[in-house]
Structure 1
Amino acid sequence: MAAASGWIARPMTGFDTETTGVDVDRDRIVTAALVRRSAGPGPAGPSSQVSAWLLDPGIPVPAAATAVHGIDSATAREQGRAPGAAVEEIATALVAALRRGEPLVAYNAAYDLTLLDAELARHGRASLEERLGSPVAPVLDPLVLDRAVDPYRPGKRRLGDLCAHYGISTGSLHSADADVLATLDVLAAIVAAHPELGETDLPALHAMQVDAHRRWAESFNDWRARKGLVGDGATTHWPMRSVQPVAARSAG
């Protein structure tokens, strides 16, 4: 098998969070991980450098969230970092990767990146876009890419579902570092199955995902309306939406 080439063979940085819930405006980060993969698939295999954070979110961790990621309120309170300082470190590392020209890889990026920006606003810190001086890009989202290249495949598309579909062996998901490693492996598998993605330059691939996600979200929201479903639908913004600054609720 020929060694991979193009952007998939160059360094990239993956990002994931585990949180108190799914509301990006109100919930908080409990754990986060950045994984810098120094090379794509090839004879020597990839090399990964992991940075991880445990935060004290400043609010109770609901039992339902603990059941997912294993961190309870006592552990977060006793062992977690002050959230303002921690999200500053996370944002600094993430922006540094983008400034190095590395794509940012995140599964369901619109959730994790928007939540991080909301945390930064909560603690009076500059947003990702303010730090970069430009929109957050390029971002690669295996969820968006998988929907784009295989839109009619039945079944769910959670990270574990895509790992199973693409034959990715995983340990226990739902820790931030394990989820990032799995996300990077899924991205490589999608590109191997659809080589045209690896042949597309990163700015064009980012723009393609913006359009693909918007089309999917509009279609999904239309389906919800036809079913008479209430509540928030899918955001059409990708890889993130803007958040409103809010007063800091805990010292950083």
Structure 2
Amino acid sequence: MSSWHELPRAAFDLETTGRNPLTARIVTASIILVDGRGEVLEHHEWLADPGVPIPEEAAAIHGVDTRTAATLGQPVALVVDGISRVIGSYFQGGIPVLAFNARYDFTVLACEGLRHGVRIPDPRPVLDPYVMDKHADRYRRGKRTLSAMCDHYGVELTRAHTSAADVMATLGVAAVLADRFAQLRRPATDLHESQVVWALRQAASFQEYLRRTDPEAVVEGRWPAVAS
């Protein structure tokens, strides 16, 4: 059976109002579908009016302020519905959706679905270069942000922290990971199940490290979403 990196695959990214995925609201979203050679087949973009003020620190990262979102953005419920329909069609067709630090994006989407009464598809198969990289190259020193991994793997990233640029970078990093690490060259459904275990182990390891100085530290291990 062919590995996921030889077949059509999509990537998904959100820019939001904050870091906490349980409370963050969607501001922009991008989904790109590529074929087995990495050529773009579909490109979807959304700008949402999140219905709440966008903090200045968030706007400074992704470039969308409250006034712009309110003036040009669609109602967030329509955006959530649009995202869900697109990725739902991919999941139904067995096409994996990549997301860097998928736990964040899919948790935000799940929470927005609950807020606005939109049915969110079960996220599977999902592929997460963040989780895969931490498993395949466990002892590498340094940061594992998307920007840092692009530098490490030689993947171009322009206009970081815009959802479209981050989607293309996610696809690029994932392709390099599949090329370098044979253990990641598998069917997407199989790799999804492995990442559930890897993410849990990674969270437990980080929690153990943090508890050396903070006995009450808790690191979430559920993946690819905390809320569903």
TM-score, normalising length: structure 2 = 0.95
Change (3 A) 1:230 1:175: farther
Uncovered stretches (5+) of structure 2, i.e. residues with no partner: none
- Note if 1:52 corresponds to 2:45: yes
What's 1:246 paired with? Answer: none
Q: Which residue of 1 aligns with 2:135?
A: 148
Identity %: 37
Distance in 2 between residues matched to 1:36 and 1:152, nearest whole Å: 32
2:133 alignment partner AA:
D
Provide the C-alpha distance between the structure 2 equivalents of 1:190 and 1:97, rounded to a whole number of angstroms: 22
1:70-127 per-residue CA deviation (whole Å, 9 max, x = no partner) reads 0011100100100111101110111001111100100000000010010010001223
Letter in structure 2 aligned against 1:62: P
Worse overlay, 7-16 or 179-188: 7-16
Deviation at 1:47, TM superposition (A): 2.7
* CA drift at 1:48: 4.5
> In structure 2, how many angstroms separate the alpha carbons of the residues matched to 1:230 and 1:69?
33
Q: 1:38 aligns with which of 35, 43, 58?
A: 35
> The residue matched to 1:51 in structure 2 has which SS?
strand
**Aligned residue number for residue 24 of structure 1:** 21
Deviation at 1:25, TM superposition (A): 1.7
Q: Which runs of 5+ in 1 are unaligned?
A: 130-135, 244-252
Q: Does 1:224 align with 2:210?
A: yes
Of 175, 188, 213, which aligns to 2:175?
188
Indicate if the aligned counterparts of 2:32 and 2:40 stay in contact, CA closer than 8 A: no
Secondary structure of the residue that 1:128 maps to in structure 2? coil
Counterpart residue number, 1:206:
192
CA RMSD of aligned residues (A): 1.5
SS of the residue 1:31 aligns to: strand
Q: 1:189: Cα distance to partner?
A: 0.5
Task: Give yes or no for the alignment of 1:242 onto 2:227.
Answer: yes
TM, length-normalised to structure 1: 0.86
Determine the C-alpha separation between the residues in 1 that align with 2:75 and 2:182.
43
Show CA shifts across 1:18-40 (max 9, x none). 00001112110000011001223
Distance 1:48 1:168, change over 3 A: farther
- 1:114-193 equivalent positions in 2, closer than 5 A: 114-129=107-122, 136-193=123-180
Question: Is the deviation greater in 118-127 or in 51-60?
Answer: 118-127
